[in-house]
Amino acid sequence: VTETPGSKDQALVADSFAFAFDIDGVLVRGGRAIPEAVEAMKVLNGDNKYGIKIPYIFLTNGGGKSEAERCGDLSRQLEVEIAPAQFICGHTPMSEMASKHNTVLVVGGEGEKCRTVAQSYGFKDVVTPGDIIKTDSATTPFRKLTPEELKNSKERDFSNVVIEAIFVFADSRDWAGDLQIILDLAMSKGGRIGTISETLDEGPPIYFSHNDVVWSAAHENVRLGMGALRGIVEYTFQTVTKGKTLKTHAFGKPQISTFEFATRLLKRWRKNEHNLNSPPNTVYFVGDTPESDIRGTNLFNEHAENDWYSILVKTGVYQEGTEPAYKPRVTVDTVLDAVNHGIEREM
């Protein structure tokens, strides 16, 4: 524990450990806070028997809004101020690819939100499925754009446009239409809309912001997520091309690069917010999905300069009584137990 005179809070701050939290199934379900999560935030902010503040960040595979908007939602849900500087969502690391491509297709999310997010990341020319459907409504026979979508979508001459990459930013709101358009491009001559490649291997690269097949929402049972769409895209490509393989890419947990991104964020956050200059010995990662949270944390722990300690909770995807596919260092009931476990282990 260190006294940090230069920090904004002037309080005792834990310098040897930090927390990183998954969101869905750990802190929030279906837009509502899990009650213990509100309490856990208070504990982290000094309401504990040692009177210390503990640095923490958030690392969710979710997305579909700007980091600032998402933090606004989370601040209200968890009754504590949360800053974009302590937050990563599935598509945040995609920002590092903005300068690599000129025209890209951005898929998923509500209305125009993901186009706006992509533009804010610096993507120069962002096409949406709505633009393609507005330009040629025969693209998706059963999908008609709503008046709102018609207003926002941009009709354009695609004959000289090359879609250089496809980014699925957030969950699709129209799986069939988006599947058709992704597949058309995967089979196209180098990303030219309306063409079909003879070799079927020159489509643009396809990036998903994460690979969760299921996730924990308001329903009592898990719901289908972006990883399911990814599987359907690959399966359908193989079927339609009579056996060719489509290799797509995923960001998010459990990718090591996502945890590296999180490490850089945590370093900046601890320095700027808490005036801590050396890395913590231990980062406690609290998640509900063995395949992404626990797998990623354990894998990253093999490479990381510090100890990444995986904690599995029972409030989301993982179901008590089942054997998790990836083993956490510890399993607890809720995120509040996870925070208390970390503190007791340290103090």
Other beta carbons within 10 angstroms of residue 266's beta carbon come to 24
Task: Note whether 212 binds ligand G3P by CB under 6 A.
Answer: yes
How crowded is the C-beta side of 32, counted as CA atoms within 13 Å? Answer: 7
Task: Note whether 25 binds Mg ion by CB under 5 A.
Answer: yes
Residue number, 25 or 328, with CB nearest to Mg ion: 25
Task: Note whether 61 binds ligand G3P by CB under 6 A.
Answer: yes
Distances from the Cα of 168 to the Cαs of 67, 225, 340, in angstroms? Answer: 16, 12, 37
For residue 204, the surrounding DSSP H or E stretch is none
Of 147, 216, 211, 206, give the one whose Cα is nearest residue 178. Answer: 206
Residue number, 203 or 254, with CB nearest to ligand G3P: 254
326 φ, ψ (degrees, to nearest 5):
-125, 130
Q: Which stretch binds ligand G3P (CB under 6 A): 21-29, 184-192, 262-270, 331-339?
A: 21-29
Task: Note whether 60 binds ligand G3P by CB under 6 A.
Answer: yes
Other beta carbons within 10 angstroms of residue 98's beta carbon come to 17
Residue 60 contact partner, candidates ligand G3P, Mg ion, none, CB within 5 to 8 A by sort of partner:
ligand G3P
Task: Note whether 24 binds Mg ion by CB under 5 A.
Answer: yes
Residue 225 contact partner, candidates Mg ion, ligand G3P, none, CB within 5 to 8 A by sort of partner:
ligand G3P
Instruction: Tell me if the bond preceding 254 is cis, omega within 30° of 0.
Output: yes
Residue number, 285 or 309, with CB nearest to Mg ion: 285
* Contact pick of 25, 108, 254, 290 for ligand G3P (by CB under 6 A): 25
Residue 62 contact partner, candidates ligand G3P, Mg ion, none, CB within 5 to 8 A by sort of partner:
ligand G3P
Helix axes of 256-274 and 295-303: crossing angle, nearest 10 degrees: 80
* Contact pick of 18, 23, 312, 343 for ligand G3P (by CB under 6 A): 23
Task: Note whether 22 binds ligand G3P by CB under 6 A.
Answer: yes
Task: Note whether 225 binds ligand G3P by CB under 6 A.
Answer: yes
Task: Note whether 328 binds ligand G3P by CB under 6 A.
Answer: no
Q: Which two tokens stand for residue 12?
A: 């005792």
* Contact pick of 15, 17, 24, 41 for ligand G3P (by CB under 6 A): 24
Distances from the Cα of 329 to the Cαs of 43, 320, 340, 341, in angstroms? Answer: 22, 16, 15, 11
**Per-residue x/- marks for ligand G3P, 78-97, CB under 6 A?**
--------------------
Other beta carbons within 10 angstroms of residue 277's beta carbon come to 9
Residue 61 contact partner, candidates Mg ion, ligand G3P, none, CB within 5 to 8 A by sort of partner:
ligand G3P
Q: Which stretch binds Mg ion (CB under 5 A): 49-57, 77-85, 244-252, 286-294?
A: 286-294
Residue 204, exposed/middle/buried by CB under 10 A (0-12, 13-18, 19+)? buried
Q: Is 18 helix (H, G, I), strand (E, B) or coil?
A: strand
Least gap, CB of 241 to ligand G3P (angstroms): 28
Q: Which two tokens stand for residue 240?
A: 């339609």
Q: Which stretch binds Mg ion (CB under 5 A): 6-14, 19-27, 302-310, 321-329?
A: 19-27
Rounded to an integer, what distance in angstroms lies between the CA atom of residue 336 and that of residue 338? 5
Interface positions with ligand G3P (CB under 6 A): 22-25, 60-62, 171, 210, 212, 215, 225, 289
Interface positions with Mg ion (CB under 5 A): 22, 24-25, 288-289
